Structures are given as C-alpha cells and as structure tokens.
C-alpha cells in the first residue's frame, strides 16, 4: 500500500519524468530550482571577483589597488567557497532525499525559511563587503574586525543551511517510516547523507565561532581569543569543503550511471568509503593550524596524519571504484579493445561525462596528491601560507567540486527545469575550457608557491626577492584564470540562456547528450565478478601511485635542501 | 515469521543514518574541537612587560 508520503499516491504533488521514468516531487523541484539558480548567480559573482584577483596577482598587470584587492578577495572567498557551494548542495540534498526515494519533501515551509535565511544572509554579506566595511578576507581572523552585519549574514547563511539539512533528515525519516523505497537507500542518497552529516558538524562550528564574534563586534562581549577563533573557524572553513567532497563524489557516481550505465563494482566498499569520510575527514581542519603555537604536536599529528589517512583511504577507494565501474560498464557494452579502449570510446562529447572525468583527474592527480603532501607536518613548514596552498584547493574545490557541479547541471536543467540546452556545441566545449584553465591556475600557483610566493599578498615586488621565474609562473596562473573565467562565463550564459530561451521538453525525453551505446558483442552483467576486467583502472592506479611517490619524495628532498643536516 | 536473513552488523550500521550522524558529530568534536580547546586552555598567559 502506498503511503501519503509516496510520490506514486494518487493526488500526490508529483510528476513523472519523461526521461528517467522516476517520480519527481513538485515541492522539492521548486526548491531545487531556487537553490540551483541562486548558486549559479553567486558562482558568477565569485568568478568576476576571481578574474580581478588573478589579474592583480599577475604582477605584470597588477590591476586592483591594495584596498580593493583585499575587498575583492573577501568577496571571492565567500561567494565561491560558501554561497555557490552551499546553495548547490542544498539543491542536491533536496534531490537526493526525494526523487531516488520516491518520497515527497518533508516541509515546503521549512524549505522556504531555509532558502530565505540563506539568501538574505548572503546578500547582507556581499553588500557589506562591497561597502568596504568587511575587508577581513574570508577567514576574518581576529583581531581583524568587520561590521556586525558581516557576521550576522554568515550566521543567517549557516543557520539557513542547517534548517535545509534538517529538512533533508526529516525527509529521510518519513521515507523510511512510510516505506517509500525498499532495501538500502541508493548510493547517491547515501553520499548526500554523508555530506549532510558533515554539514551538521561544519555549521555547529560556524555557530560556535560566529555568534561570540558577532556579539563582540556589537560591543556586547569581550574579544574571543584569536587562537581559539582560528581553531573553531577552521571547523567551519575546512569542513565546509568536506561537505563538497561528499556531494562531489555522489555526483561522480550519479553522472557515471547516467552517461555510461556504470554501477558501483562493490556497493559495500563504496558506502564504507563514505562512512570513513563521515568519521574522519573533518579532522583535516587541523592542517590549517600546523604552524600555530597553541596546539601541540600530538594533536597536530593525530588529526592531520594518523586519523586523517582513513579519509584519504576513502578518497583512494572512490578514485578506484568509480573508473572501475565505468570500465566494467563499457566492457560489458562491448568496448573491449586493449587496456584503454573503454576510455577512448567513452562518451567524451557528453559535457556531463567529460566534466566529471576531468573533475576526477584534477581532484585526484593535483588536489589529492598535493593535499596529502602539504598536510604532512614537516612538509607544511615549507609550504604554509604560500601560493602552494591556494594551488592545492583550486584543484580540489574548483577543478574537482565546481566542475562536477557544472557537469551535473547539464542534466539538472533538462530534467528539473525541463528545457533543452541552447548552443550545444559550446556546451560540449565548456568543461574542457574550464578544466584546462583551472589546471593552469592551480599549477601556476603551486609552482610560484614552491618559490616562496605568499598567498593573500597584493604585491610581491616590495619583497624584492622574486626573479623572472616566479613572475612567469604567476603569468601562467593569469592565463589559466582568463581561460577558466571564459569557461565559467560560458557556463553562466548557457544556463541563463537555456532557462530563458531553451526549448521546453514537456511531454518528451530530454535531448540526448550522447551516452555509451552497447555494441553487437555486448554482454550485460557478465563481468561484475571478473576482477581482471578492470585491468585498465589498475594500470591507471599504478600511474597515480607513481605520481604520488615522486611528488612526495620531491617534497621531502625540498625540505632537506631548505634545512640541511650535515 | 520473518524468514529474511539478518543483515550483517556493518550493513545495518551503514543503513542507519542516525548512528552515522552521532558518530560523525562525536568523533571530530572530541578529536579536533575538544582536545584542541583543552590544549589552548592549557597555554599559560604571556607575561606582558
């Protein structure tokens, strides 16, 4: 018997998706749309700030004056790392708890409250920054002090998001209670649950640190201890990026399924990897305090190494199982030629597939390897507060998360907004343009940082110690930024243009981006227990491990060169 | 009578978001936040000139 929360019940506020055949909760659909559109607006704002910053740090251009550099840096950080990501993640949560579970959203009123608080808070923050009353950068380290509206806005965004997360868990509860689905939740919902759990920890830290800072800025309470502020703030700042990681990996699996029919080679292993994220990834926040004097070596090493490596293990599991599942799916479809025939035959012209594939590569090969290396306490000594750190997280958050979110959008707009994309040839080009651009940004920053160029510095000439090589690398970063910004702008134009002028899909399936088609020799389900069938992925894994080993060794060598012991 | 085989313990844990929620909040709060907070509290105040 169907319950009142099931989307299949007669009279339920739902529709049947013409492409997937799944029931879509109309209440959830509205809030997916609202949050996704807001996300893209904040992405565009943050992107405009990004190009201004890159053209300033590119010393040959040095565009912005000093006060505007720090103002725009604050604006960029909050719009890109908090607003774009959180709005999109709330959209992902509302999708994951309703459509795959065949369940209606717990409460539309709660969703309205969440959305309104987030939107008002984000606008408050952006306005007060642009008024020049919060030039404190995203971290807003005390004793730097911004206008109270800045902190109040962040509190509103955090609490609004927490309310959205509550709506997610409440929907999970009613779906389980009313048996709207059978067995375990789908993997995409499990990954979204992991993201929601991490979001709870993140937002708790946000409340703990921002409320006393707000009351201090109002003159009501004494100044919080700056060391305490840093520690708790990073429980918000870094953990919010771990929410991204979970959401991103869930999207990887979803897009792999949509474009190649890939199913996880081992559901239990994939879910265990997500559980490792839930349990251990939040400890990575300690990376930011590796040179802080207030916390001891035991706390630093435990949180950034021993315990954190369990979360690194989770990323490596996903990094293996995702391409392995695609390889199995492609080989079962008949693409069996050689070690990498399944790679060359993959649907690269599908922007969702290419976006996710590039996201996996950039996140793993650049972001993952640099992250683990820079998070080692000894090596961190030669990298802390240099552009190497910025190079690392532009590979994870931008090349990894933002690109994966963009990739999913190529399905979200046709399936949820029910409009086919305009300018489809340009859409196929967009993930490549953005990915190559951000690759140059990340590598330019990383190599400049390895020469000691500091992050968050308006001018490096005043130091008088950087030669042409450092300037060349900042130029590479700048050229990459122009390419990535063009890709971002194209993405925004494609999205807005499609929402306004795209052909409506009402009553028919979305226009096909191109998915992997079975050949004549296809044998569905034949390779699921054949471990040798994923030999191409095993080969890629060894390439990855070799890159990891070389980079790790090079960094220890660099450390020994800086502080030789003779 | 329920004849379905009982799911393994790990499977049941993974199927229970509330256990994951409690553990996911508790472990970082203890390992990162509380431990770090205690370390900061144990730093003696600097003697100002």
Q: Could you read off the pLDDT of A377-432 as tens digits, one per residue?
A: 889 999 999 999 999 999 999 999 999 999 999 999 999 999 999 999 999 999 99
CA distance A304 to A169: 30
pLDDT at residue number A279: 92
Q: Are A200 and A165 in contact (CB under 8 A)?
A: yes
pLDDT at residue B1, as a whole number: 56
Per the CB < 8 Å rule, is B36 touching A286?
yes
Structure tokens at A319: 């990094």
| A201 shares contact with chain B (CB less than 8 Å) | yes
Record: contact B39-A225, CB cut-off 8 A: no
Question: A350 near A343, Cβ under 8 Å?
Answer: no
CB contact under 8 A, B36 and A197: no
Look up the pTM and report it: 0.94
Q: What are A485-525's pLDDT values in tens digits?
A: 999 999 999 999 999 999 999 889 999 999 989 988 777 77
Angle between helices A239-260 and A351-361 (to 10 degrees): 140
pLDDT tens string A325-336? 999 999 999 998
What is the band of A1 on the pLDDT scale with cuts at 50, 70, 90? very low
φ, ψ at A386 (rounded to 5°): -100, 175
Instruction: Confirm if A413 and A33 have CB atoms less than 8 A apart.
Output: no
Query: What does the H/E/C string look like for A428-454?
Result: HHHHHHHHHHHHHHHHHHHHHHHCCCE
pLDDT in tens, A51-105: 999 999 999 999 999 999 999 999 999 999 999 989 999 999 999 999 999 999 9
Residue for token pair 């709660």: A110
From CA A288, how far away is CA A323, in angstroms rounded?
31
Residues A112 and A98: their CA atoms lie apart, in Å, by 16
Max CA-CA distance within chain B?
A: 79
Angle between helices A308-332 and A239-260 (to 10 degrees): 10
| Burial of A65 (C-beta count, 10 Å sphere; 0-12/13-18/19+) | exposed
Pick from A512, A529, A511, A515: nearest CA to A335: A515
CB A242 within 8 A of CB A287: no
| Cβ atoms within 10 Å, residue A428 | 18
For chain A, the structural domain boundaries read: 19-507+537-562
pLDDT in tens, A441-496: 999 999 999 999 999 999 988 777 888 999 999 999 999 999 999 999 999 999 99
Q: Residue A14, SS3?
A: strand
Give the residue from chain B lying closest to A279, CA to CA: B24
Beta carbons of A193 and A170 less than 8 angstroms apart: no
CA B12, chain centre distance (Å): 18
Q: What's the pLDDT at A252?
A: 96
pLDDT digits (tens, 9 = 90+) for A121-159: 999 999 999 999 999 999 999 999 999 999 999 999 999
Q: How far is CA A116 from CA A26, A38, A76, in A?
A: 19, 11, 22
Q: What is the pLDDT of residues A380-391, one digit of tens each?
A: 999 999 999 999
The span from the CA of A457 to the CA of A84, in Å, is: 24
Chain A and chain B share a number of CB contacts under 8 A equal to 86
Query: For residue A302, which residues of chain B lie inside 8 Å, CB to CB?
Result: 31
A201, A205, A296: residue with CB nearest B24: A201
Residue A2 pLDDT grade (very low, low, confident, very high; cuts 50, 70, 90): very low
Chain CA centroid to CA A451, Å? 28
Q: What is the mean pLDDT of chain A?
A: 93
Cβ of A286 and B32 within 8 Å?
yes
Nearest residue to B33 (alpha-carbon basis) of A209, A172, A221: A209
Nearest residue in B to A165, CA atom: B21
* Predicted pLDDT at A7: 86
Alpha-carbon gap: B47 to the closest alpha carbon of chain A (Å)? 16
Bond preceding residue A408 cis, omega within 30 of 0 = no
* pLDDT confidence tier of residue A117, bands split at 50, 70 and 90: very high
The pLDDT mean for chain B works out to 89
Its ipTM equals: 0.92
pLDDT at A205 over 50: yes
Are A169 and B28 an interchain contact pair (Cβ–Cβ within 8 Å)? no
Q: What per-residue confidence (pLDDT) applies to A305?
A: 80
CATH architecture of A19-507+537-562: Up-down Bundle (1.20)
**Position A202 pLDDT exceeds 60:** yes
First to last CA, chain A: 78
Put simply, the chain B residues between 1 and 49 with a CB less than 8 A from any chain A CB are 10-11, 13-15, 17, 20-21, 23-25, 27-29, 31-33, 35-37, 39-40, 43
């Amino acid at each position: 018997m169907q319950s009142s929360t099931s989307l299949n019940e007669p009279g339920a506020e739902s529709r049947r998706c013409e492409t997937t055949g799944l029931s879509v909760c109309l209440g959830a659909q509205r809030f997916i749309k609202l949050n996704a559109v807001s996300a893209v607006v904040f992405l565009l704002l943050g992107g405009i700030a990004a190009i201004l910053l890159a053209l300033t740090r590119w010393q040959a251009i040095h565009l912005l004056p000093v006060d505007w550099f720090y103002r725009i840096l604050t604006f960029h950080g909050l719009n890109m790392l908090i607003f774009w990501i959180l709005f999109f993640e709330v959209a992902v949560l509302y999708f994951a708890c309703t459509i795959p579970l065949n369940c209606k959203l717990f409460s539309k009123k709660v969703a309205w409250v969440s959305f309104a608080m987030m939107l008002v808070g984000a606008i408050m923050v952006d306005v007060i920054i642009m008024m020049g009353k919060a030039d404190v950068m995203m971290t807003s380290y005390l004793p730097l002090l911004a206008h109270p509206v800045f902190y109040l806005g962040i509190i509103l965004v955090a609490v609004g998001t927490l309310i959205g997360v509550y709506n997610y868990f409440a929907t999970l509860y009613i779906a389980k209670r009313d048996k709207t689905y059978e067995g375990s939740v789908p993997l995409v919902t499990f990954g979204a649950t992991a993201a929601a759990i991490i979001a709870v920890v993140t937002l708790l830290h946000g409340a703990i640190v921002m409320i006393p800072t707000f009351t201090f800025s109002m003159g009501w309470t004494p100044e919080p201890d700056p060391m305490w502020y840093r520690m708790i703030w990073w429980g918000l700042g870094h953990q919010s990026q771990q929410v991204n990681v979970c959401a991103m990996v869930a999207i990887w699996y979803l897009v792999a399924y949509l474009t190649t029919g890939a199913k996880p080679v081992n559901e239990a292993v994939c879910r265990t990897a997500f559980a490792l994220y839930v349990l251990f990834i939040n400890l990575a926040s300690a990376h930011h305090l590796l040179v802080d004097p207030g916390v001891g070596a035991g706390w630093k090493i435990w949180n950034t190494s021993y315990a954190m490596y369990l979360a690194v293990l989770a990323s490596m599991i996903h990094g293996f199982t995702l391409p392995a599942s695609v390889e199995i799916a492609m080989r079962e479809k008949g693409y069996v030629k050689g070690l990498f025939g399944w790679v060359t035959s993959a649907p690269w012209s599908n922007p969702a597939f290419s976006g996710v594939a590039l996201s996996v590569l950039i996140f793993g090969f650049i972001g993952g390897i640099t992250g683990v290396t820079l998070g080692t306490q000894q090596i961190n000594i030669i990298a802390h507060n240099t552009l190497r750190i910025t190079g690392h997280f532009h590979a994870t958050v931008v090349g990894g998360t933002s690109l994966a979110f963009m990739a999913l959008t190529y399905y979200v707009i046709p399936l949820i907004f029910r409009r086919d994309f305009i300018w489809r040839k340009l859409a196929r080009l967009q993930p490549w343009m953005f990915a190559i651009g951000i690759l140059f940004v990340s590598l330019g920053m990383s190599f400049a940082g390895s020469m000691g160029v500091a992050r968050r510095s308006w001018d490096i000439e005043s130091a008088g110690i950087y030669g042409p090589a450092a300037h060349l690398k900042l130029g590479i970063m700048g050229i990459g930024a122009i390419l990535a910004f063009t890709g971002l702008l194209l993405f925004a134009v494609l999205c807005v243009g499609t929402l306004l002028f795209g052909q409506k899909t009402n009553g028919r399936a979305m226009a096909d981006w191109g998915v992997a088609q079975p050949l004549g020799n296809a044998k569905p389900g034949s390779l699921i227990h054949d471990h040798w069938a994923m030999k191409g992925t095993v080969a890629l894994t060894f390439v990855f491990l070799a890159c990891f080993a070389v980079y790790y060794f090079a960094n220890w060598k660099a450390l020994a060169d800086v502080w030789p012991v003779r | 009578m329920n004849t379905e085989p009982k799911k393994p313990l790990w499977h049941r844990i993974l199927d229970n978001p509330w256990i994951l929620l409690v553990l996911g909040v508790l472990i970082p709060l203890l390992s990162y936040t509380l431990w770090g907070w205690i370390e900061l509290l144990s730093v003696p105040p600097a003697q100002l000139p």
